[in-house]
Each structure stands twice: as structure tokens, then as C-alpha cells.
Chain A
Amino acid sequence: MNAPTSRRDFLKTSGALVVSFSLPTQVLAQGAGGKPALVPTELDSWIAVLPDGRVNAFFGKMDMGQGLDIAAAQVVAEELDVGFDKVEVVMGDTATSCNQGGASGSTGVSNGVRLLRRAAAEARRVLVEGAAQKLGVPASQLKVENGIVFSSEKKISYADLVGGRYFHHQVEWNKQTGNPMDIKVQAQPKSPSEYKVVGKPLARRDIAWKVYGIGDFVTDVRVPGMLHARVIRPPRAACKLRSVDASSIKSLRGVRIVREKEFVAVVAPREWDAVRAAQRLKIDWHALDGAFPAMDQLHQHIRGAKVVKREEAVKKGDVAAALKTPGARLVEAEYEWPFQSHASMGPGCALADVKAGGCTVWTGSQKPHFVRDGVAKLLGMPQDKVRAIWVAGPGSYGRNDAGDAALDAAFLSRAAGKPVRVQGMRADGTAWDPKGPACVHRARAALDASGKVIAYEFVSKGFSRQHIATNESDPADSLVGQSIGIAAKGTQIFGVPAESYAFENKLLAWETIPPLVDNCSPLRTAHLRDPVGPEIHFGSEQFIDELAAAAAEDPVAFRLKYLANPRHAAVVKAAAEKAGWSSLGKGKGIAFAERNGTAVAAVAEVEGDCRSGRIWARRITVAHDCGLVINPQGLRYTIEGNVVQGLSRALFEQVRFDRDSVTSVDWASYPILEMPDAPESIEVVLIDRPEIAPSGAGEPTIRVIPAAVANAFFDATGVRLRSAPLDSDRVRKALAKA
């Protein structure tokens, strides 16, 4: 910061604005002290007005293809009163944005955009006060349209006020980083009744370059002198590297082997040489036999495994006693869910350039700020010497293999002394990505003679959903880190159903079990879209249907009878109404859940083919309430994607493995939903509640899809499918048994 004397000189010469607050005088000053530090307390860390009046909003979260940046631009345009087309949201570069946690937990709008909204409102307030000074008109008599502040007689543009310069204005920061980061400002953001841009179905800006093949994915980033690398993961879990036979690839010129402890990779100027070297390199691995249970014993293993942590998240009344109520009817069921893979569209990719003075890494990871932290730790560099730049990756719905690729690239660039681009092969993205956890859910309930639920218990037991962390800020959570001896720490965490069923005696709990292999495990777990949401609600929302059947009640009516939260009841009603819910036996099923403030219900209409065992979800109807709707079109498409991905996970997906290794290595051994199985229609009812701050939409819908399908199948056939996926093999067997 410059001293006040220079500020005074500056004011004299430039005629810049003095803006007065209740607190010390602030200046909209041309370069006063230059560019402020990138810290959340500086308004300049969030908003910049360019010389031509365009606005940049600096965002510590990223759009993964659902249009989050558009929603952010709408909100910023709204609060600043500038044209939507004038706002560019600059995402995910650690050199230009604060760590807002990246793409995480469907918090893009609720947590991420909330800060931009406040920053934009504050910027408007500061600019209007500045204009008031400049024009000699009280701020209360000024209006703003399209970035022009005006009174009945005078006007000045944002560009003239601060374009190309800095606000040097402080905002209050809650001292947190990641998703909980928050700021407070003096300005009062607009009331929803004033909205002109928010609520409009504005189009995405990343469609054209994708459709014409004229933009860069992270896989397309190249720098001069760049080498290509492939990391060679072990053939089995729990391997030790004994020796590497360099002579096995001597016919490939220019290939270098990088090896440290159990980590081995090949680096070459030509990508094809790196690919061939990785395929041909002879490695003697010392393998441990039988690291995994037999796949068909997985859920038995979970049932019998020691409990590492138990948490009773919801406990009401006395379930144990109520279950023993004389004359009560007991209903019990168990549900099973497999390991699932991110299986992103392309394997993880990153490019890192390690130099003496620091490292730049281009990554498709959802959390570039945490990539920066992890790379800094891995390389022993100060955090401010590492810059991570997010570039759209080949798909990302959680902590997939992108994080591993980023740390691999940094490690290899340092070893090679050149920029290194790493991209995995298919198996790296399917067999070696972190997995969604396999689990078993035990449900018990008691009904009295009138059919009323007097006791309800739902306990999930499975692998923690965070054997490795949800980000790559610690090398212990990366494959390269674990390969060179930094042990995984892991966190014990699972979850419980998210609903408001008002059962008098209720217990919702979870139990986690130890990982099968501690380090470098292809079955290590981390978050996959809506962590444990589809897993848990596949069980809990089927069990609600089982209780409705036991009580001889309609599944919709039964839910409405017990849902205590009116927003929850409203989505159930809306979905049922839109789907033309009718009496049973029509192949329709409903499921409901909440997720961090968002309520969603889905009605599935399925057709089953008894001979082939194929279930086709012909029509899915979703009712969705995430509070204020910022962009209805983006929201609809986000919900549609959730529906189809949810169908894929419910009907097709399970990670296969044998006693030694994961055998789901490609799309043949890890099938997902394809076009013939896509629904005929997806109907979406958006319940817009402008008075309620927006909650997330990236994940809630996926959690209700599996149970909606299973409930519809039961409605059509009378057969319960309690193990996912509901693939043709399982369906045929279930129908044969019935």
C-alpha cells in the first residue's frame, strides 16, 4: 500500500473518487498501491471492471458442464446492473481466484455464487457512492442501468469510475477456506422481486467450442518441450515393485523410466512411444495374494467386518423398545450396493511444468486450489510458488482420477526436468480411480394394528466414503504419494437417509469398516456424485415402499402421511401429479429425498422384459425444489443428466474384481447406460421459491432414481430387487425365483 501522501497527490492529479462510508474513507483509486493481494478480504479478488466496462467475476468454483458459470454471471449482472453479456466468470485459476472449494457438494450456487452476489452488490454500492461524489448528486438519487450510473441530468459509467483500476476496498471474511468460505459486505443485495436477469433461461457459453471442436480441454494443453508420460499402476492390489527391466523397452528411443519405491512411469517425447513403453515394460512385482474377498462374498464381508466407527445421526424415542411392542408387525429388509467407478469419459490428464522457481499445473480436477496445495506438499515447495489452472476435463463427478494425474504430472516433471503431460489409459480411469463405497443397509420397522409405523430403524454399514480425501491437497490421498510411502490416513464417514418422515421412534445410523487394502488400492473410496446418496436412498426409499405395502397404503399417500416438511410433501405431490400417479400395478414407482436443503421426488415408469431381464425406465418425472431458480434451462438439463446417470448406476454399474485385482478395466467390463436404454422422456417440474436462498442441484436428483426404478419394478411385478445394480442377470434370477 502506498502512503496517504501519494494518495493525496494522486487524487489531485487524477480527480479520482473519494467514497465515504461510516468507516474510514475509501478510495476508488487508480492503482493506489497497485494490484491488491489475492485474499478474500479484497473486493478486487472478486470483481473487476475492465477499461471497456466489461466485468470479470473471479470464481473459486468451476462449471463441470452444467452451466454454473452462467448462473454466476446472471447473479453478478443482476447485482451490478450490467448487461449479462458484459460479465465473464473467470474460474478455477489459483492465480486469479480464492479457494472456494472448487466443484464440490452441489455448493456452486449456494456457497459459491453467494459470495459473488455479495461482492457484486458491494461493488455496485461503492461505484454508486463514487458516482455520487463525482457527479455531486446524492447516491439516493442515482440509478444504474447497463453499467451507467445516472441521475435525471448527469451520468457516468462504471468504466470511467474504475475501469482497469482497483477498488482497494475491504470486505469482511469469515477466515475459512473451501466451501465454508464466506464474506460480509455493507451492501444489501437485491430482493428477488427486483430480479431481471436471474430466473432467465440464458444459454451456456461453452457449447459452441465443444460442438465445433475449436477449444481446449485439459487434454489439449501443450507447452514447448513437453514430454508425454504414462504411469504404470500395479497389476494387482497390494504390490511391491521388485525390479524393472529397462532392456524390455530399449527399442523405443528417447523413453525414460522414472521409478521411486512402488511408483514407476515412462516419459517420452512422443505420446505413442510412452503408450508402447508402458505396455511393454517388464516389471517384476511382488504381489500379495487374496487382498480382496471373492466378489460374490463382498456383502457378506461387509456384514461380518469389524465396525471402525458408528454414528447415530438421528435418534428419536426408543426404537429398540418400540420394535418389541406386543402385537406389532415387524418388517425387515436388507439392501446391497456395489462399488462403483467414476469411469469418466476420458482418463485423468494433467500437464505440469516444474521449474526452479515454482510449478504450473494444468488440471481437470474439480479442485485446482487443492491441487496447488497437494503439489506444493509433494514437491516441498511453498504454496505460493505453485499455480494450478483448471481447464475443462474429460468429465468429472467427484474425486476421480484427475487428482492423481495432477500429482503424477508434477512428480514426473520434476524428475524429468521438463514439462510433462500425463494421461491415463482406460484402465486408469476405470480400475484405478477412487470408488464409490460398497455397502449394506439393514432396515427394520414395526407397525401397529392400524398400520401406523411405531418404530423405524435404518442402519448403513459399508466402507467409508473417504478412504482418501475428497481432494488432493495432501499427497497421502494420491496414488503417487502412497506409492512413495506416504500412507493414507482416511476419514471414517458415511451418511443416513435425508428425509423428514415423522416416525415417533426412529434411528438412522451408519457404521464404517476398514478398507480392504490400506494403500494404493484400486478399491479405495472417495466421493462419487452425491456421495452415498444413491447408495443409501436405494435402500431407504424402497423400505418406505415396503412399509406402505405392509400397511396396505398407496406409496404416495403413505409418504405424504409421514413427511413433516411441507417442501418435502410438495415435491412428492408435484411429481405424482405430473406423472399421472394412479393406483398400483402400472409399473410406476416413486422415491423422495432431500439433500442439503433441496427436495426432490421422482416417479419412474418402467417396462420389464421377463425373458431378457432388461428393465427400461421409459419415463421419469422429477419434481425439484432448490429454492430460488436462477436459470431454469440449466437446472432442467442438470436434472436430466442426474436422471440418466442415476439410471446407469442403478441398472448397470458395478466394479468387478477378483481376489487380487479389479477386473472392471474398460467399458466392456464396466458397462454403463447406452442410448437404447435412455428414457423416452424426462419430465421436470421446477418448484421456484424466490424467497428461499438457492440450494444445490448438481446432485440431489441422482439419489432418488435407483429406488424409484426398483419401486416401479416391484409395482409391475411384485418382485423386490434389493441388490444393485438391477442388471438383466439379477432381474432374470429374481423373476425366476418369484
Chain B
Amino acid sequence: MASFNFTVDGKRVSVNAEPEMPLLYALRNDLGMNNPHFGCGLAQCGACTVHLDGEPVRSCVMPVSAAAGKKVTTIKGLGTPQKPHPLQAAYIEEQVPQCGYCINGWIMTAAAYLKKNPKASDAELRDALAGLKCRCGTHVSILRAIKRAQAMISGRRQA
């Protein structure tokens, strides 16, 4: 057991754990967060995705030790009802999620991707989002929402 310090959604936290324990368990159990979710524990689905210094990572396989000294952002820290991220706003307008358990993967991955490629084409988005799973089959509305978010982002830049 060792102590690891990092920030989660802007707050400084300290977790005492085995270095190899996945970050997911630190977030959910040591820090009592309700997101991200356990989907596979194998980095195959994305339900546990968070940003580590702005890059999307699968927290179910990322050792907690790798977060030490870094900034972890969860979907809760990405935006709030008062100040939503464009993707969150677009997801609500497009009524995207059904069961909603997969949502961290899609929003956190797309948020990081759009930051670098705000004007990504449909084909680029499809490639960028490969590897994420949605069992309810909301893929088409996910793409609709991302395109809506892209429009919001480009509108914001022009404004």
C-alpha cells in the first residue's frame, strides 16, 4: 500500500492503495464517485473512461500509481447542468442515451478528440470512436449529437 496524490475534477485527493490497483476502484470506492462505470475491466468497452491530463484513458486498467501528480477529469467534471460541455448539451438535445451505462466512453473520448479535431468528418469520427461499446444501439444518435456539438463549438469560436 502506498499513498497517491492527484486531482479529480479539480479537487486534490489522496488515495492509499496498492500501486497496481486500477484507478477505477480508487475513484469509485476510495473516493465514492458514481462514475465512471465498470464495464469490462479489460479496456474493451470504454464505460470507465476518464481524462488523465486531458487524454482519455480507461481507468479499469490504468494503475492508480499512474495517476499520481496528474489531473483526472470525469464526466462529472467535464461539465455541469449549469455549465455543460457542448457534448453534454448536445446529448440532452438529441436525447441520446438509453440505458446510459456506456456514456463515459463516448463523451470523454469524443470530448478529447474534438479538442484536437473540432471539424472531424463523419468518417474520422467513426474511426475515432471505434472500440467503444453501446449495447442499446444508440450509435446513430451519438453521431447526431457529436455533429450538433461540433456546430456549437464552431459557433462559439466564431462568436
Contacts and interface: CB of A to CB of B under 8 A. Distances in A.
Contacts of B28: 271
A234 interface: no
A648 B138 CA distance: 12
Interface stretch (A89-97, A151-159, A390-398): A390-398
Interface stretch (A381-389, A603-611, A676-684): A676-684
Interface string A666-682: 11100011111011111
Contact of B102 (A64, A212, A213, A345): A345
Nearest to B32: A222
B137 A642 contact: yes
Nearest to B122: A680
Contact of A212 (B42, B81, B126, B141): B81
Interface residues of A, number: 61
A214 interface: yes
Interface string B44-82: 110100000000000000000000000000111001110
Interface in B87-141: 88, 91-92, 95-104, 107, 122, 125-127, 129-141
A211 interface: yes
B35 interface: yes
Contacts of A64: 98-99
A324 interface: no
Nearest to A702: B137
B21 interface: yes
Contact of B92 (A208, A214, A217, A344): A208
B140 A644 contact: yes
A641 B136 contact: yes
Contacts of A676: 126-127, 130
A423 interface: yes
B158 interface: no
B139 A206 contact: no
Secondary structure of the A contact surface, majority rule: loop
A425 interface: yes
Contacts of A640: 137-138, 140-141
Given A217-B101, A667-B40, A208 B81 contact: yes
A728 to B, nearest CB: 15
B13 to A, nearest CB: 17
B37 interface: yes
A219 B127 CA distance: 30
A426 B41 contact: yes
A425 B98 CA distance: 22
A674 B131 contact: yes
Contact of A678 (B39, B79, B143): B143
A643 B40 CA distance: 24
A644 B139 contact: yes
B17 interface: yes
B129 A675 contact: yes
Interface string A202-241: 0110111011111111011010000000000000000000
Given A213-B75, A219-B37, A645-B136, A674 B101 contact: no
Contacts of B136: 65, 345, 395, 641, 645
Contacts of B133: 345, 667, 672, 674
B130 A679 contact: no
Given A217-B101, A675-B126, A272 B47 contact: no
B17 A272 contact: yes
B39 A681 contact: no
B34 A215 contact: yes
Interface in A357-395: 392-395
Interface string A643-656: 11111100000000
A598 interface: no
Nearest to A425: B41
A371 to B, nearest CB: 18
A562 interface: no
A345 B141 contact: no
Contacts of B139: 644, 673, 675, 678
